[in-house]
C-alpha cells in the first residue's frame, strides 16, 4: 500500500484522470490515509463544469465515441463503498478513454488536485464535507413514482402531464430517464414506454417518448436520482474549488471556527456598532429561548456565531422571530437576513413572523416552489 501511495498517487509523473477529483481525494484520505498529486478532474473539461458524469456524457454525446445508454448503466449508481468490481473497472476504462480523447492535451492548462498542500485539519474538513454530501445523496431513491393528474395528452411523440404533488413532481434532468405505462382497462391492454422529460413549467411537464403511447390511464416513474438543487450544486462547486485551492473557503472565519476549531478573529465587528437591542417580543418565552435570543443580539466577539439546536417543537423558530422583532424595533433602518435550507423552512419562518404581527419582510423562494404550486401561500393578506 505504501508503494502504491508513493509511486503512483504521490508521483507527479503520472496523471490521475478521474470523475469528481474532490470525491477521489476524499476517498484516498478518509479510506486509505493517502494523498495525491496531479489529479485531473475530467468533469472540468466542459464549460460550465458538469456536476456528475452522466451530465458530462450528455454534453459530449456524439463526440465521446461511447454509447450513452451504456454509460448511463455504468454510472447509474455511485454510492460509496457499494460498487461491484466490474462496474469500477468499467468506470476506470471510461476515464482513461475520456482522458486520451479530451484531457491529455490540457493537463498543463487545467486546475489539478494536489492534496499534499493541505494541513490534516483542512483535508479532514473538506473530505468530511464531500462525504457527508455523498451520504445524503445516497438516500435518494433510484426510482421515483411521480404523482400525476388523470388528465393527459399524447401527440407527435410528446406526452403532456400535470404533476399533482410537489415532492414527487416530474423534473427535467439530463441524468434521468422516464418510464411511462399506459393502460386501457376496457381493452385490458398495457403499454410501457421509455422517454425523457424535456420541459417543465410549474406542474406541467413535457415528456418525449421513444415509442407510441396508448391507453386511458398513465403512470409515470422517474429512473435516476433527483438532480442537485441550486444550493447543493453551488455547495459542490465551492468545495471543489477549495480542494483545488481556487477560492478562500478555508480562510473564511466562520468555516475556520466551525470546522477547523480556530477562534474567531478579534475585532470582527466595526468599531461604531450601536449597542445591542433588548428583547422585545409579545409572546412568552422560556429561559432557554431567552438565553438564545440574548446570544443572537449580543455584540460580543465571542457571540459572533451561535449554534442553537433542539428537536422539533422546542421553539427555535420562535427564537428567530423574537430576535428579528427585537432588532427591527430598536433599529428600524437595519435589515436582517433569515436563511433556511428549504423553501418549506422559509415559509415556516414567515408564518411565525406573521403570527406575532411582524410583516416587514420580503420572501425569497425558488421559482419552482412558488410558480404553479404554492402561490396562494405567499399571497395571504396581513
What percentage of the chain exceeds 90 in pLDDT? Answer: 26
Q: How far apart are CA 225 and CA 76, in angstroms?
A: 9
Confidence of residue 31 (pLDDT cuts 50, 70, 90): very high
Helix residue ranges per DSSP H, 244-315? 253-259, 287-297
Confidence of residue 270 (pLDDT cuts 50, 70, 90): low
pLDDT value for 125: 93
Give every CB contact of residue 303 below 8 A, 6+ residues apart in sequence.
295, 296
Residue range 324-368, pLDDT digits in tens:
999 999 988 888 899 887 777 888 888 888 888 888 888 777 766
- CA-based nearest residue to 232, from 140, 328, 312: 140
Give every CB contact of residue 134 below 8 A, 6+ residues apart in sequence.
23, 79, 80
pLDDT value for 323: 93
pLDDT value for 94: 87
Residue 377 has pLDDT above 50, yes or no: yes
pTM over 0.85: no
Average pLDDT over residues 144-149: 92
Query: What Cα–Cα distance (Å) separates residue 38 from each residue in 82, 126, 129, 244?
Result: 27, 18, 22, 11
Domains of the chain: residue spans and CATH: 2-118 (no CATH), 143-223 (2.40.30), 272-379 (3.40.50.300)
Residue 292 has pLDDT above 80, yes or no: yes
Counts for the chain of helices (H) and strands (E), in that order:
12, 10
Residue range 63-81, pLDDT digits in tens:
777 787 788 777 876 666 6
Q: How far apart are CA 130 and CA 138, in angstroms?
A: 12
Cell digits of residue 51: 456536476
What percentage of the chain exceeds 70 in pLDDT? Answer: 86
Residue range 212-264, pLDDT digits in tens:
888 888 899 999 888 888 888 899 999 999 999 988 899 887 888 788 876 55
Nearest 10 degrees: Cα torsion 314, 319, 322, 326: 160
Residue 107 has pLDDT above 80, yes or no: no
Q: How far apart are CA 258 and CA 61, in angstroms?
A: 42
Average pLDDT over residues 172-180: 86
Confidence of residue 306 (pLDDT cuts 50, 70, 90): confident
Q: How far apart are CA 98 and CA 381, in angstroms?
A: 56
Residue 166 has pLDDT above 90, yes or no: no
pLDDT value for 382: 47
Give every CB contact of residue 220 below 8 A, 6+ residues apart in sequence.
145, 146, 148, 161, 170, 178, 179, 180, 181, 207
Handedness of CA 254, 31, 52, 111 (dihedral sign): positive
Average pLDDT over residues 291-314: 87
Q: How far apart are CA 309 and CA 306, in angstroms?
A: 10
Amino acid at each position: 500500500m505504501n508503494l502504491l501511495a508513493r509511486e503512483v498517487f504521490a508521483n507527479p509523473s503520472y496523471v490521475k484522470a478521474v470523475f469528481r477529483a474532490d470525491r477521489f481525494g476524499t476517498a484516498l484520505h478518509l479510506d486509505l490515509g493517502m494523498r495525491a498529486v496531479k489529479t485531473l478532474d475530467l468533469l472540468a473539461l466542459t464549460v460550465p463544469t458538469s456536476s456528475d458524469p452522466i451530465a458530462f456524457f450528455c454534453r459530449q454525446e456524439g463526440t465521446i465515441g461511447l454509447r450513452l445508454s451504456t454509460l448511463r448503466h455504468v454510472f447509474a449508481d455511485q454510492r460509496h463503498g457499494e460498487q461491484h468490481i466490474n462496474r469500477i473497472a468499467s468506470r476506470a476504462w471510461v476515464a482513461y478513454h475520456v482522458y486520451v480523447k479530451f484531457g491529455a492535451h490540457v493537463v498543463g492548462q487545467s486546475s489539478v488536485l494536489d492534496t499534499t498542500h493541505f494541513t490534516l485539519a483542512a483535508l479532514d474538513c473538506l473530505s468530511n464535507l464531500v462525504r457527508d454530501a455523498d451520504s445524503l445523496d445516497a438516500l435518494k431513491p433510484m426510482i421515483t413514482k411521480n404523482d400525476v393528474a388523470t388528465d393527459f395528452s399524447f401527440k407527435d411523440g410528446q406526452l403532456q402531464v400535470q404533476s399533482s404533488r410537489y415532492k414527487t413532481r416530474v423534473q427535467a434532468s439530463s441524468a434521468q430517464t422516464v418510464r411511462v405505462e399506459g393502460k386501457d382497462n376496457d381493452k385490458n391492454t398495457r403499454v410501457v414506454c421509455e422517454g425523457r422529460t424535456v420541459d417543465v413549467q410549474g406542474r406541467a411537464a413535457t415528456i418525449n417518448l421513444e415509442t407510441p403511447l396508448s391507453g386511458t390511464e398513465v403512470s409515470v416513474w422517474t429512473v435516476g436520482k433527483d438532480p442537485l438543487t441550486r444550493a447543493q450544486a453551488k455547495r459542490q462547486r465551492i468545495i471543489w474549488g477549495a480542494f483545488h485551492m481556487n477560492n478562500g473557503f478555508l480562510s473564511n472565519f466562520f468555516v475556520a471556527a466551525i470546522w477547523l476549531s480556530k477562534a474567531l478573529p478579534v475585532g470582527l465587528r466595526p468599531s461604531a456598532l450601536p449597542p445591542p437591542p433588548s428583547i422585545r417580543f409579545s409572546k412568552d418565552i422560556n429561559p432557554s429561548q431567552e438565553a438564545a435570543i440574548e446570544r443572537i443580539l449580543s455584540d460580543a466577539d465571542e457571540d459572533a456565531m451561535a449554534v442553537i439546536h433542539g428537536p422539533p417543537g422546542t421553539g427555535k423558530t420562535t427564537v428567530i422571530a423574537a430576535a428579528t422583532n427585537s432588532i427591527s424595533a430598536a433599529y428600524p433602518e437595519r435589515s436582517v437576513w433569515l436563511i433556511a435550507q428549504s423553501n418549506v423552512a422559509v415559509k415556516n419562518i414567515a408564518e411565525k413572523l406573521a403570527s406575532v404581527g411582524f410583516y416587514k419582510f420580503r420572501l425569497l423562494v425558488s421559482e419552482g416552489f412558488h410558480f404553479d404550486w404554492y402561490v396562494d401561500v405567499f399571497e395571504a393578506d396581513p
